[in-house]
Amino acid sequence: MTDTQLMDKLVSLAKRRGFVFQSSEIYGGLGSVWDYGPLGVELKKNLKERWWRSMVHERGDIEGLDAAILMHARVWEASGHVEGFTDPLVDCRTCKARFRADQLDQFQCPQKPSKHPGEANQCDLTEPRMFNLMFKTFMGPVEEDAAVVYLRPETAQGIYVNYLNVMQAARQKIPFGIAQVGKAFRNEITPGNFIFRTREFEQMEMQFFVRPDEDERWFDEWKEARMQWHLGLGIRAEKLRFHEHAPDELAHYAKKAFDIEYEFPFGWHEFEGIHNRTDFDLSRHQEFSGKKLEYMDPATRERFVPYIIETSLGADRLALVVLVDAYREEEVEGELRVVLGLAPALAPIKAGIYPLVKKDGMPEVARRINDDLRRRFPVFCDDGGSIGRRYRRQDEAGTPFGITVDGQTLEDQTVTVRDRDTLVQERVHADQLVTYLEERLAP
Ligand code: ATP
């Protein structure tokens, strides 16, 4: 299977099983905007909840926040986005395609796929033009410059402008952090690769406020903690690596930056960034708003603008990592089996429940088990088609357990529980199912 085939198969599975659909599909779709279906919304929710639990609930030093998408337009002047959140854009006059001038080596010339844009004889590229990635809209009834607001291109700024509010309300002291999950929007020039780069996406960002002289220690700590978190999702270690930004790659605000990269079928790419943003953001907001954003150390009475260590993870990109990493094809008894080997804690549906045949009271028993389990876990009762087909449908959906009601169930109230990965079947008493699943679904 080639890498392109793998992506094609994943996109088609995602649609078939209801993970991800193209936005506005019946109108021909909207470029690089995607909708999450019944299973996709569960997967993404599981990822976001797990992140929230590890960032906010399991720690005493991080608070949650849910800031609005729309913010005062001056925020984006202070942050540098109005001036600098741009990508260089080039057009090809011959084939009318559009590329990012800094990423030509990642694209194929539409006319001559063996070459990069600009390399084939017929290519005729324009000079690069700077293009701002922020979506603009207008607030209030008049469409004039004074009413311009932006759809936020990152969630971080909502945290910076609220840092004093949160610190005082939650009675935190430095070092402490603020975590947020929310939508962000970027009018990307060359989006693509399914949900890897989209124009509307979700971020899970955490900003950790520290003393300026403790920035390096905290940076190293967060860098390691974030890698461990991904390993804890069951992502294969050999598919993960750090990439340190060279001085010429560093963003204007960053002193140091590491990406966590995954080896996607289309190459190694970032899906989380850990950045030492220094006091850049708070100093700029202090300057642009005229409000003091200093911290006073209660012990030493020292005043300083805190440094910020940021961890910034895309929920959609993480969902793609998890899906790609989990996808496998196997041959079982001469038949192709497609499996999403998702960690049980991440799987959208935890167990499929199947009456072996549609008679002898088996469907009724299966439905009773289903009603009992669904109060605790998302489960799915399926009595359509051969048992093998039903298993395979749930294998593709990533469902870790299959519970089958058969003739013996009617005699002794035991069912078989099939493990998606090992295919081993165990007999378990129906009364023990909750405990059985709970033990195996623990995070
Ligand atoms: P890239 O170089 O891929 O454009 P970036 O360096 O601009 O990304 P950051 O601004 O550091 O990315 O964003 C942090 C995280 O947000 C990324 O690691 C990614 O997971 C997610 N992200 C950023 N842009 C997009 C997008 N267009 N679609 C989906 N996720 C995104």
The finding on whether 314 has its CB within 6 A of some atom of ligand 1 is yes
Q: How far apart are CA 420 and CA 391, in angstroms?
A: 8
Any ligand 1 atom below 6 A from CB of 186: yes
**Distance between Cα 38 and ligand 1 center (Å):** 25
Is the pLDDT confidence value at 418 over 90?
Answer: yes
Based on the domain organization, do 155 and 285 belong to the same domain? yes
Q: Name the residue with the closest Cα to ligand 1, atom 2.
A: 270
> Pick from 267, 289, 323: which residue ends a domain?
323
User: 136 has which bridge partners?
Assistant: 150
312 shares a domain with 423: no
Do 212 and 172 lie in a common domain?
yes
The residue from 307, 323, 339 where one domain ends is: 323
Strand partners, 207: 178, 310
Does the pTM surpass 0.85? The reply is yes
Same domain for 359 and 216? no
The pLDDT score that the predictor gives to residue 192 is 77
Q: What is the pLDDT of residue 157?
A: 98
Ligand 1 pocket residue status of 216, Cβ below 6 Å: no
What share of the chain in percent tops pLDDT 70? 100
In a domain, 391, yes or no: yes
Looking at the fold, whether 307 and 229 belong to one and the same domain comes out as yes
Confidence at residue 442, expressed as pLDDT on a 0 to 100 scale: 83
Please indicate, yes or no, if residue 274 is contained in any of the structural domains.
Answer: yes
Let me know: does 289 contact 157? Beta carbons within 8 Å. Answer: no
Q: Are 398 and 276 contained in the same domain?
A: no
Task: Assess if residue 67 is contained within a domain.
Answer: yes
**Test site for ligand 1: of 183, 203, 244, most ligand atoms within 8 A of the Cβ:** 203
The DSSP secondary-structure symbol of 57 reads: I
- Residue 315 Cα: closest atom of ligand 1: 20
Which residue range(s) make up the domain with 372? 349-441
What does the pLDDT look like over 296-341, one tens digit per residue?
999 999 999 999 999 999 999 999 999 999 999 999 888 899 999 9
The CATH number that applies at residue 309 is 3.30.930.10
Reported as type and span, the H/E element at residue 425 is: strand 425-429
**Tens of pLDDT, residues 78-97:** 999 999 898 889 999 998 88
Kindly report the number of other CB atoms within 10 A of residue 193's CB atom.
18
Residue found under tokens 């021909």: 28
Name the residue of 23, 197, 259 whose CB sits within 8 Å of the most ligand 1 atoms, as the mutation to test its pocket.
197
Task: Answer whether 102's CB lies under 8 Å from 190's CB.
Answer: no
Q: Which of 228, 219, 315, 207 is nearest to 258 (CA)?
A: 219
CB of 316 closer than 6 angstroms to any ligand 1 atom: yes
Q: Is the CB of 398 under 6 A from ligand 1?
A: no
**Are 267 and 370 in the same domain?**
no
Tokens of 317: 């990109």
pLDDT tier, 262 (very low <50, low <70, confident <90, very high otherwise):
very high
Rounded to the nearest 10 degrees, what angle do helices 38-52 and 315-326 cross at? 110
Tell me, yes or no, whether 178 and 292 share the same domain: yes
Q: What's the gap in Å between 271 CA and the centre of ligand 1? A: 7
Q: Give the pLDDT band (50/70/90) at residue 4.
A: confident
- The answer to whether the CB of 19 falls within 8 A of the CB of 37 is yes
Q: Tell me what the mean pLDDT of segment 338-361 comes to.
A: 96
Is the CB–ligand 1 distance for residue 200 below 6 Å? no
Is the confidence at residue 162, as pLDDT, over 90? yes
Write the CB contacts of 95 (distance below 8 Å, at least 6 apart in sequence).
109, 110, 111, 122, 123
Q: Which candidate, 256, 232, 234, 262, places its Cα nearest to that of 244? A: 256
Residues facing 421 on adjacent strands: none
Same domain, 66 and 18: yes
Residue 126 CB contacts under 8 Å (≥ 6 apart), including other chains:
90, 91, 92, 93
pLDDT one-digit tens code per residue, 361-417:
999 999 999 999 999 999 999 998 999 999 999 999 999 999 999 999 999 999 999
The pLDDT of 348-367, averaged and rounded, is 96
The answer to the question of residue 339 being in a domain is: no
Number of domains in the chain: 2
Reduced to 3 states (helix: H, G, I; strand: E, B; else coil), residue 49 is helix
Q: Are residues 31 and 173 in the same domain?
A: yes
Atom of ligand 1 at shortest range from CA of 270: 18
**Domain CATH for 359:** 3.40.50.800
Residues 295 and 379 reside in one and the same domain: no
| Overall average pLDDT of the 48-77 stretch | 97
| CA 126 to chain centroid | 35
Candidates 351, 383, 378; CA nearest to 367 is 383
Q: Is residue 199 part of a domain?
A: yes
φ and ψ at 169, to 5 degrees?
-65, -40
Q: Which ligand 1 atom is the nearest neighbour of the CA of 314?
A: 20
For residues 221 and 311, state if they share a domain: yes
Does position 261 have pLDDT exceeding 80, yes or no? yes
CA distances from 431 to 392, 402, 428 (A): 26, 16, 8
Look at residue 81 and tell me if it is in a domain.
no
Residue 127 falls within a domain, yes or no? no
Whose C-alpha lies nearest to ligand 1, atom 22?
A: 314
Mean pLDDT of 138-167: 94
Q: Tell me the per-residue pLDDT of 164-217, one tens digit each, with 9 for 90 and over.
A: 999 999 999 999 999 999 999 999 987 679 999 999 999 999 999 999 999 999
Q: Which of 276, 306, 323 is the last residue of a domain?
A: 323
- Residue 351's closest CA among 418, 430, 296? 418
The pLDDT tens digits of the residues spanning 268-284 come to: 999 999 999 999 999 99
Residue 212 lies in a domain: yes
